[in-house]
């Protein structure tokens, strides 16, 4: 039997509470918490497991002295709990002797949770932990999609040791590779090079600039709905809203926009794990960033509570089917619209011998706008990029 306590330290609840108890409706009173004073047992009744991580050696030479996950818990535990969600807080991951040891530990904890059909929510640590999250899906006989909400791509120098600035190159170059798609939401053009954008274009990955995303944030929903796992870095949020990070920028998402994106992530039935990274307590002002961080996580939890069980599309009777034939006569695009949520998907043709490996990628989330584009006799970008990767 997997022993979680070998990898995790209990939550110091008295430190989180300070001098004020939680109210009956608040998260701190309603979830199961691994503490020093209880015999914590993780059962399959839990839908979500929170894992704190205080590993920052991927972005700094040493870890922060203040435990970032505990600072976030001080605010998260005082938010209203959704009674439909069974949540367990498993405590904080014990840092390994080396950074790779921490990756190893996190990978095995996440893998065990996924095997139990429990959705892991990582709070704290630096964004290179996304690499450990990626490794969790190794040997699953399926390719996976990663969505990063971040101000840059983090491709960096692929020959250097893995760190917060090059973790994506390590994922792309991993062999045997099982990354099907990478999407970035909110990158800022002055932080990325032409070589990086050219590389991602060549791989048929999709990237969305901050300004474009903020203009029509609802178009981010199908991008996020297509993710198997998400890396949400606090660097994507402007410094005035979230000063507590190591990569501050005067530009970025506003706090409410970050909450919208996080709720989209929670609503996605396909998403099986998520990490919220980049918080540095020493740079925080009056707990402002920790407070926002907690609200972002809360919106994710609310999204999970509102899931519609629409992945995979099992019962086609729950959907309205639309077929659009482009005037070229060579392409026919099939759309599905949910009768429950009014969300849209596209069907992608594929080689029959690749069906098993790419099975999860054949019905692609899209928006009503993609349907309108097809009706105007144009190829939706989402359809084209996915089709190219399946060829």
Question: How would DSSP label each residue in 245-294?
Answer: BSS--S-SB-HHHHHHHHHHHHH-SS--EEEEE-B-GGG-STTHHHHHHH
Maximum separation of any 2 CA atoms in the chain, in Å: 70
Residues 226 and 269 in one domain: yes
- b/e string for 282-302 if b means 16 or more Cβ within 10 A? eebeebebbbbbbbbbbbbbb
Q: Say yes or no: 45 and 129 in one domain.
A: yes
End-to-end, the C-alpha distance of the chain in Å comes to 42
121, 158: one domain? yes
Number of domains in the chain: 2
Confidence grade of residue 63 (pLDDT, cut at 50, 70, 90) = low
Residue 152 domain-assigned (yes or no):
yes
Whether residues 182 and 275 fall in one domain: yes
Indicate if 268 and 385 belong to the same structural domain. Answer: no
Is 339 found in the same domain as 296? Answer: no
Same domain, 300 and 324: no
User: Is residue 172 situated within a structural domain?
Assistant: yes
Residue range of the domain that includes 359: 316-390
Of the residues 274, 305, 336, which one is the last residue of a structural domain? Answer: 305
238 and 109 within one domain: yes
Query: Could you tell me if 220 and 301 lie in one domain?
Result: yes
The span from the CA of 227 to the CA of 229, in Å, is 5
User: pLDDT tens-digit profile of 307-323?
Assistant: 999 987 777 789 999 99
Q: Predicted confidence band at 216 (pLDDT cuts at 50, 70, 90)?
A: very high
Higher-pLDDT residue of 330 and 112 is 112
Is 182 a member of any domain?
yes
* Both tokens assigned to 199: 């590389």
Strand positions, DSSP E, 95-169? 119-123, 144-149
Q: pLDDT of 226-249, one tens digit each?
A: 999 999 999 999 999 999 998 899
How sure is the predictor about 37, in pLDDT bands with cuts at 50, 70 and 90? confident
**What does the pLDDT look like over 72-123, one tens digit per residue?**
999 999 999 999 999 999 999 999 999 999 999 999 999 999 999 999 999 9
Residue reference for tokens 């060549």: 202
Is residue 139 located within the same domain as residue 55? Answer: yes
Domain CATH code at residue 69: 3.40.800.10
Q: Is 348 or 100 the better-scoring residue by pLDDT?
A: 100
Same domain, 340 and 281: no
Q: Is residue 42 part of a domain?
A: yes
Q: Are 297 and 332 part of one and the same domain? A: no
């Amino acid at each position: 039997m997997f022993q979680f306590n070998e990898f995790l330290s209990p939550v110091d609840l008295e430190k989180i509470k300070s001098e004020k108890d939680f109210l009956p409706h608040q998260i701190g009173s309603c979830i199961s918490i691994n503490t020093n004073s209880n015999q914590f047992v993780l059962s399959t009744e839990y839908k979500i497991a929170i894992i704190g991580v205080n590993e920052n050696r991927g972005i700094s030479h040493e870890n922060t002295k203040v435990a970032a996950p505990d600072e976030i818990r001080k605010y998260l535990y005082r938010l209203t709990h959704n009674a439909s969600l069974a949540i367990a807080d498993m405590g904080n991951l014990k840092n390994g002797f080396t950074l790779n040891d921490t990756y190893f530990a996190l990978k095995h904890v996440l893998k065990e949770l996924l095997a139990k059909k429990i959705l892991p929510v990582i709070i704290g640590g630096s964004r290179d932990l996304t690499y450990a999250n990626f490794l969790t899906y190794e040997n699953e006989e399926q390719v996976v999609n990663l969505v990063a909400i971040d101000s840059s791509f983090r491709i960096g120098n692929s020959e250097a040791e893995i760190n917060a600035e090059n973790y994506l190159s390590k994922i792309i170059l991993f062999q045997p590779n099982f990354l099907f798609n990478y999407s970035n939401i909110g990158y800022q053009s002055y932080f990325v090079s032409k070589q990086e954008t050219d590389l991602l274009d060549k791989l048929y990955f999709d990237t969305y600039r901050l300004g474009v995303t903020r203009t029509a944030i609802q178009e981010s929903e199908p991008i996020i709905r297509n993710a198997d796992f998400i890396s949400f870095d606090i660097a994507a949020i402007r410094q005035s809203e979230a000063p507590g990070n190591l990569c501050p920028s005067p530009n970025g998402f506003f706090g409410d926009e970050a909450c919208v994106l996080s709720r989209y992530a929670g609503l996605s039935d396909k998403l099986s794990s998520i990490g919220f990274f980049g918080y540095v307590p020493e740079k925080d002002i009056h707990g402002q960033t920790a407070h926002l961080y907690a609200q972002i996580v809360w919106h994710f939890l609310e999204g999970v509570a509102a899931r519609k069980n629409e992945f995979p599309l099992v019962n086609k009777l729950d959907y309205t089917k639309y077929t659009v034939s482009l005037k070229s006569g060579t392409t026919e695009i099939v759309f599905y619209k949910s009768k429950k949520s009014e969300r849209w998907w596209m069907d992608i043709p594929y080689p029959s011998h690749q069906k098993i490996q790419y099975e999860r990628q054949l019905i692609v989330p899209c928006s009503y706008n993609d349907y309108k584009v097809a009706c105007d006799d144009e190829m939706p970008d989402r359809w084209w990029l996915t089709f190219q990767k399946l060829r």
